[in-house]
Amino acid sequence: MVRTYFIFLCVLAFFGCKNHGVNHTHTNLSESHTHQQENYFGSYNLIDKNYGTKTIVTINGDIRKMITNALPNHKTGEFPRKGNPNTISSQNRTYSFPVNPKYTGKPKWVREPGVALNGVKFEPGTAEVVECETGENYRVEAFQNIIDLGLDFNNAHVQPTGAYHYHGSPTSVINNFDKGDDLVHLGFAHDGFPMYYSKSGKYKSSYKLLEGNREGEDCVYENPHNKIDVSVDGHHDGTYGSDFEYVDSLGDLDECNGTTINGTYVYIVTDEFPYVSRCLMGEYEEPSRGKGGPRSQNNRPSINELFKVMDENKDGKLSKTEVRGGLKNDFGKLDKNNNGFLEKDEIKFPKRRK
């Protein structure tokens, strides 16, 4: 059964996805899991004076609490750099993870799926959007050839706040926490399940590129420093998140890039899309993101992404019972032909404020 990949954002008002019944299982977790538990599944201090790293993790009952300044314990690229004008700076972060996470089997899409053992967060998606005059919006992936996002050799860069974060496989983290076995423990997802990297790449993603071509005319990418015309015509090549679709059992991993090993559910960071999980399979309530609410306008989904999420019967239009959030509130205004359905050409996002 094919299900198309989408990105969970504010317009969807934090709703969870439906249970797709995925439970991929493997039984060859190496003994490194037990060895790593002695170091990183219990309380630990990770302090590195060379890089300024200070991460303190304590276990209190069912809660794993991490207090960190989010400075990486490894070399990074030089920042500011081309494509990323920001400078790495210390953060003040406190995270809480359940020691005994509860698997729901219902993928819930999140922007920030987890945190590395060193206190640096994983954030695989981007806020970059290509907008078309014909109404299509395309979320740009971190790994593409249109926009230089200034990623360093750790597949990471820096947000305007100074927060260094990983978009893909964190090369130096993998090297630093490698115990000699295939699976390297990298961190914890926010639902409490551990995150690993397979050095052999034996766990394959179940996403593939869509067939056919994209649609959209007079498309541009714009940020405060630059504006470029972008042609979205052509086949789905992985430039945008909507270029991919999830195919159940195509690979070893479920749609959250997870699998069960020796009875324990884990997430696998892969070198291919989605790189790092874009959703969580365990119980988790994502916190709001400041005064503007859970998501900002910069992180709104594209029209195609909305339809992939809401169009449950896949008829190419949205009924009143399918829409949610702002679309539900404005249904009457948006339904121009008064046929009781919303079609793609009836939904227009307002232009982004400069």
Domain boundaries, the chain: 2-6+17-126+147-212+246-290
Residue length of the chain: 354
What span, in angstroms and rounded, lies between the C-alpha atoms of 91 and 124? Answer: 19
pLDDT-derived band at 122 (thresholds 50, 70, 90) equals very high
Q: What is the pLDDT of residue 5?
A: 42
In the three-class reduction of DSSP (H, G, I as helix; E, B as strand; rest coil), residue 162 is classed as coil
Extract the tokens encoding 164.
Answer: 């260094």
Q: What is the pLDDT of residue 319?
A: 84
Which residues, including other chains, have CB under 8 Å from residue 236's CB and lie 6 or more apart? 209, 210, 211, 212, 213, 214, 242, 243, 244
pTM assigned to the model: 0.75
* Helix then strand then coil, % of the chain, to nearest 5: 10, 30, 55
Q: What is the pLDDT of residue 292?
A: 37
pLDDT-derived band at 329 (thresholds 50, 70, 90) equals low
Q: Give the mean model confidence (pLDDT) for residues 221-233.
A: 90
CB 265 within 8 A of CB 259: yes
Q: Which of 188, 155, 165, 184 is nearest to 272 (CA)?
A: 155
Q: What is the pLDDT of residue 289?
A: 54
In the three-class reduction of DSSP (H, G, I as helix; E, B as strand; rest coil), residue 9 is classed as coil
Question: What percent of the chain is predicted at pLDDT more than 90?
Answer: 67
Q: How buried is residue 236: exposed, middle or buried, by Cβ count under 10 Å (0-12/13-18/19+)?
A: middle
- N-terminal to C-terminal alpha carbon distance within the chain: 42
Q: Give a three-class secondary structure readout of 253-310.
A: CCCCCEEEECCEEEEEECCCCCCCCCEEEECCCCCCCCCCCCCCHHHCCCHHHHHHHH
What span, in angstroms and rounded, lies between the C-alpha atoms of 181 and 47? Answer: 24
Beta bridge partners of 208: 245
Query: Mean pLDDT of all residues in the chain?
Result: 84
CB 64 within 8 A of CB 115: no
